[in-house]
Structures are given as C-alpha cells and as structure tokens.
Structure 1
Amino acid sequence: MAKLPILTAPDPRLKRRAKSVEKVDARIRQLMDDMLETMYAAPGIGLAAPQVGVLERVIVVDVSPDEEEAQPLRMANPEILWHSEELGTYDEGCLSLPEHYAEVERPKQVRVRFIDQDNEIREMEADGLLATCIQHEIDHLNGTLFVDHLSSLKRNMILRKLTKARKSEQFPAYAAAS
C-alpha cells in the first residue's frame, strides 16, 4: 500500500467529473487500499479518487470511532438510489479543504448501489454520519465540494483563505514579507 498526495482546493482537478469504472480489478483494488491508507493517515473518514488526482468513480469511507473497530467501505461507481426527505445537518470538513468546516444540510438517509472490492454489485442503506459521508464523497465524483453547498459569501471566504495559504507555501519569503 502507498500513501497518496491529497489535492487541495482550489486545484481545478477537484471540479472535474470522474469517469465510471468498468470493472473492479487488481488496479482498482490497489487504488482503494492506497486511498484507505491515505485517508487513515490524514486522518479522515472518507476519500474520493479525484482527491488523489485519479478521475475515476471510486470512494472509500470509514466512520468507525477507532482503528480497532474499523469498518472500511470500498465503493466503485456509487450511486444514490433513494434519499429521505428528512434532512440532517453536520459540521463537514474535507481533506481537500484542510482546517475548514461548515454546517451542511443533506438527506438523513440514503440507499446506495455500488460495486465492491470483489466486483460484486451491492446495495446498502445508510443514515446519520455514514449517509452524510457517502453523499460528501459522491459529490467529489461529480466535481462538487462541500463548500458548493454554502452561500457564495462563505464559499468564497474559505476558498480565498486556501488560495492565500497555498501561495504562502509556494512562496514563503513573499508571504513573510506581505
């Protein structure tokens, strides 16, 4: 397994739509494993392939409270078949928008179809944090970030801070002088 670099906003690759996976083969299984290692190391509870520069419809999720109870989900081509009308709000963050959080309202429950790591088509229902995390990661596959669910004022404020932080990493001497 390998830890992969995580893209940060406003990287334009995060806004592109990912392509469907034809089959979960050894290459996709390796990608899933590498994504899980990257997610756990970050640390995070979900990661989509576009966040590591791979424009394929693959996500990994694990909302378990600790490592000993890990219950990783590996999903290719996840699609929401149904969602509840009842909404829930979570303070969402994202590995591609480090140290930025905001309340996002999403359906409380979802039913999702996906291809698992064994190339089997599965369906599952999720609620609460797991439902939110799955929706958040599927958004990444469609080129949507959690800040896209916020008002333009809040979104632009977060993106400006990330752009400024990125510039200071690229040009530390310039940032220190400004």
Structure 2
Amino acid sequence: MSRIPGSTGSVHPVTAWPDAVLGTACATVTAFDGTLARLVEDLFATMYAEDGVGLAANQIGVGLRVFVYDCPDDEDVRHLGHLVNPVLVEADGVEVRGEEGCLSLPGLRARTPRYDRALVRGQDLTGAPVEVEGTGFFARCLQHETDHLDGSVFLDRLTGLRRTRALRALRRADWYRPAGTG
C-alpha cells in the first residue's frame, strides 16, 4: 500500500499576504535531501489541512522553489504531485477568466485571467527532470503556484474594476495587516 502524501508531515501556519516572503522570488533548490523531502511532506499536510489544491513553499515562509498540488482538471481527473525548481515554459490556449482564491488571501476570490493550458518543467525529490502539463482548472493551479514562487499572487493579475473590488475586500478582511503595520 502506498503512503498518503503529507501523512507524516507537520501542518504549518499559512503566511498571509502582504508578507515579504510572498513578494520575493524564491531561491533555487540545490540540496535534494531529507530536508527537502520533509518540506514536501509539510506542504502536503498543510495544503490538506487548509483544504487547498496547491501550496507553494513561500506560503509557509520557506523561500525555496517548491510546490505541491492535488488538483482536478476540468474533466475531474485528479493530478497529485510536487515540483522542485519549477519553471512555467508554456501557457497558451484560450485565456479564461475563472474564479480564483489563495490560502494566503483567505476569503478573497476574483475572476482572474489564466491560460487554459500550461506546461511546467522542474525536478522531483531526487533531482530527476519532471514535466507536468495541465489543462483547465489544473492549468490554472500550475500557473498560480508558479506565480507564487516568482513572488506574485493572483491579485497582481487583476486590473481595472476587478482589482479595485478585490483590494476593497482585502482591506475589509479581519486577517489583513498592511505591510509595515506589524
């Protein structure tokens, strides 16, 4: 019987935006060791505890290029895995404005433009090359998590009235603390 991802991990608090770690590009992983394996386990445990479909390392305060996912596509096919040092190499197809949220921005949702297909290249826990392709909702997840590792959140993709409304909702959120206010 295979082990369930995250079953031996520890749940960490999710870092809330605008913490600096969420606005900074993450560092490349160079050590493929037990510490990395523990990070991936902790990411899975935290993602499941928070009912997420993806979680980037900087969302638990670790500035490394790693994310995990357990996300369906539009045909309800489950995609489960992790990526180390991921790079979004293709995002194409139809641009879709779909409902998007983020564990680092709890309760905030907005119709966010993303491409309907994404191809991400990275590595697994051993450093072996991995390529993951997604469509529909899974493509949205891959783009969202890669954005996190590049130092941005879905708010950065909003413009005009959508951005204004999202920022207004953010200011009303009971968890929100503007940068510099502690």
TM-score (norm 1): 0.84
Instruction: Show the 5 A alignment for 1:1-178.
Output: 1-64=9-72, 71-151=79-159, 152-162=163-173, 164-166=174-176
Residue ranges of structure 1 left out of the alignment (5+ in a row): 168-178
User: For 1:9 and 1:153, how far apart are their aligned partners in 2?
Assistant: 17
Q: Percent identity?
A: 34
Report how far residue 71 of structure 1 moved. 4.4
Larger Rg: 1
Q: Is the 8 A contact 1:10 1:159 kept in 2?
A: no
User: For 2:150 and 2:112, how far apart are their aligned partners in 1?
Assistant: 17
Report how far residue 95 of structure 1 moved. 0.3
User: For 2:12 and 2:78, how far apart are their aligned partners in 1?
Assistant: 20
Deviations 1:125-165 (A, max 9, x none): 21111110010011111111111111341342133124x53
Secondary structure in structure 2 of the residue aligned to 1:104: strand
- The structure where helix makes up a greater share of residues is 1
- Where in structure 1 do 4 or more consecutive aligned residues deviate above 6 Å? none
Report the count of equivalent residues: 163
Residue ranges of structure 2 left out of the alignment (5+ in a row): 1-8, 178-182
RMSD, aligned CA: 1.9
Q: Counterpart of 1:159 in structure 2: which amino acid?
A: L
